[in-house]
Chain A
Amino acid sequence: QQQVKQSPQSLIVQKGGISIINCAYENTAFDYFPWYQQFPGKGPALLIAIRPDVSEKKEGRFTISFNKSAKQFSLHIMDSQPGDSATYFCAASRSGGYNKLIFGAGTRLAVHP
């Protein structure tokens, strides 16, 4: 019940295309869903996050869609660029959980020119 399942494991997108990464969770106590971006040789960095009281959050080309009833959330990268090539992790945590993040397994995104 603590797991966060992420798919796909890897993704190849052409420049200008839309990248979509999906995550699903079981624990209904989770109330914070961040996405982290990791480049080779670097640690993960927070990209965008959402709380379950909204169904969508957009920051620039990055959008999180959240479906509370289905216990699913997804990251959409519009107009994907080669510089977006990185590994993306979804995560979840809950209030009172000591800020403990449960991560998905990651998606390696390659955006081809």
Chain B
Amino acid sequence: ETGVTQTPRHLVMGMTNKKSLKCEQHLGHNAMYWYKQSAKKPLELMFVYNFKEQTENNSVPSRFSPECPNSSHLFLHLHTLQPEDSALYLCASSQDTSGSYNEQFFGPGTRLTVL
């Protein structure tokens, strides 16, 4: 266990559905991240939050909407997704985003399938 949990672990949704992914970290960290992992592609950083403030939006389509109510919780709200959005969505946390040496701890991911 890395101290980062994600729910649900698997999600199947239609293109017109609205769903949310949840991430919780028990490490006392102040930064949280969403990544997308597609087959045969590098992990893509989507969003970064530091002390609840969004510091990075990596040109992610608006059908993905992040929310960070506190430093321990991170949500990814999904609506009107496309089949190409099917992927493993990973959450990570780190102490904060200062410097370049803050280890990121990853959760197990949510396997999303869009029909």
> A residues touching B (Cβ–Cβ < 8 Å)?
4, 9, 31-32, 34, 36, 41-46, 49, 51, 89, 93-106
Q: How far is the CB of B95 from chain A (nearest CB, A)?
A: 9
Instruction: Please state if B100 and A32 are interface contacts (CB–CB under 8 Å).
Output: yes
| Inter-chain contacts of B45 with A (CB < 8 A) | 100-101
Q: How far is the CB of A22 from chain B (nearest CB, A)?
A: 15
A42 to B45: give the CA distance in the assembly, Å: 17
Listed from nearest, the 7 A-B pairs whose CB atoms lie closest are A43-B106, A99-B97, A32-B100, A103-B43, A98-B97, A103-B42, A93-B100
B7 close to A (CB within 8 Å) = no
A49 to B98: give the CA distance in the assembly, Å: 17
> B residues touching A (Cβ–Cβ < 8 Å)?
2, 4, 31, 40-43, 45, 48, 50, 55-56, 90, 92, 94, 96-109
Given A4-B42, A43-B4, A104-B42, A99 contacting B108 (CB threshold 8 A): no
Majority DSSP secondary structure for residues of A touching B:
loop
| Inter-chain contacts of A95 with B (CB < 8 A) | 99-100
A22 to B55: give the CA distance in the assembly, Å: 31
CB-nearest residue of chain A to B50:
A98
Of B42, B48, B101, B103, which contacts A100 at CB under 8 A?
B48
Given A98-B48, A99-B31, A101-B45, A43 contacting B56 (CB threshold 8 A): no
Q: How far is the CB of A62 from chain B (nearest CB, A)?
A: 16
| Inter-chain contacts of B43 with A (CB < 8 A) | 44, 89, 101, 103
